[in-house]
Structure 1
């Protein structure tokens, strides 16, 4: 058997991790089982990821794609925000509550960069909107910047069901857009 290296090895490891977590569940996932599935030693995994939580996040991104690598620019702030929220909700549906809840239980074991990535996505979206003149400024407090994605994570944490589209629209229209535009939304 030819020795795998670089991107080929990493892809094989991530596919093995994804298959293993989907088959065994997060609670029963071990680095040893992933290594065995990938036909390698667990030290190969530990050279790349400090723990199973980081491995699963990487496998999840490999499987579902990364929003960070494909930030929307539809020409509309609202559409960009809804696109990000839909993609997060779709990822939740693809990943399932078992994996998400398992990851959240080990959140302190994750590199904190994992939690800052969506702030970067939202900052880019706001910058694009400000440059188009849709909002007065992209300079908003961090809590405002991450409000829609953090509220969506909250919704996903407390459910085992897909997040309804109406919730995504409400997070954008009732929470985020009024905060960044400085104009309260008037229901009715």
Structure 2
């Protein structure tokens, strides 16, 4: 006679956490390119239709698993007290995330970018908007109301850099993006000019 406790059906947050942990473990075991919804479902001991009810495709599931495991850069936008420091901190966190996750995962997700929900791309816009609003409140900028492409320029340039190389991103690259491109672009909009 089987003495094991009766199996309860997982639902809601408990089921989602199980799936996200399974996705993270599957990612570590097989890598992004070989990860499948079927493999994650098997590891989570559920049907793949359960996954598809929550995530439209593999890249969205993987991003959810990464956020579940490591958090999101948007969870805490660090305030260093100055615009330059804040932007560099955001870029450094992006680089650290790439190091932690590995270039294969980052490149795989970038290659699958057309399959992602467009809201995925607004997260860093929100982070940079927070940074720019704080700078405007401190008087470093006349306004934080800037064109969208200007707002995300530093993170977009860094993403471009990440896409083009599998080498670690150097600190000099980050300071060049901030000091030679982004801050000079904002200079005409700076307070007192």
Instruction: Tell me the alpha carbon deviations over residues 110-154 of structure 1, each in whole angstroms, 9 at most, x when there is no partner.
Output: 001111111111011101100110111112111111110001001
Rounded to whole Å, the distance in 1 between the matches of 2:108 and 2:37 is: 15
- Number of residues of Structure 1 aligned to a counterpart in Structure 2: 184
Instruction: Tell me the alpha carbon deviations over residues 71-105 of structure 1, each in whole angstroms, 9 at most, x when there is no partner.
Output: 12222111111111011111111111111111122
Does structure 2 retain, via aligned residues, the 8 Å contact 1:31–1:52? yes
Does structure 2 retain, via aligned residues, the 8 Å contact 1:26–1:98? yes
TM-score calculated relative to the size of structure 2: 0.89
Match of 1:12 in 2: 18
Match of 1:114 in 2: 120
> Which 5+ residue runs of structure 2 have no aligned equivalent?
1-6
> Is 1:51–2:38 an aligned residue pair?
no
Match of 2:180 in 1: 174
Does structure 2 retain, via aligned residues, the 8 Å contact 1:64–1:94? no
Does structure 1 retain, via aligned residues, the 8 Å contact 2:143–2:189? no
Match of 2:4 in 1: none
SS at match of 2:21: helix
Rounded to whole Å, the distance in 1 between the matches of 2:64 and 2:35 is: 14
Rounded to whole Å, the distance in 2 between the matches of 1:8 and 1:182 is: 51
> Which 5+ residue runs of structure 1 have no aligned equivalent?
none
TM-score calculated relative to the size of structure 1: 0.92
Structure 1 residue 156: Cα displacement: 0.7
Rounded to whole Å, the distance in 1 between the matches of 2:97 and 2:121 is: 15
Structure 1 residue 8: Cα displacement: 2.5
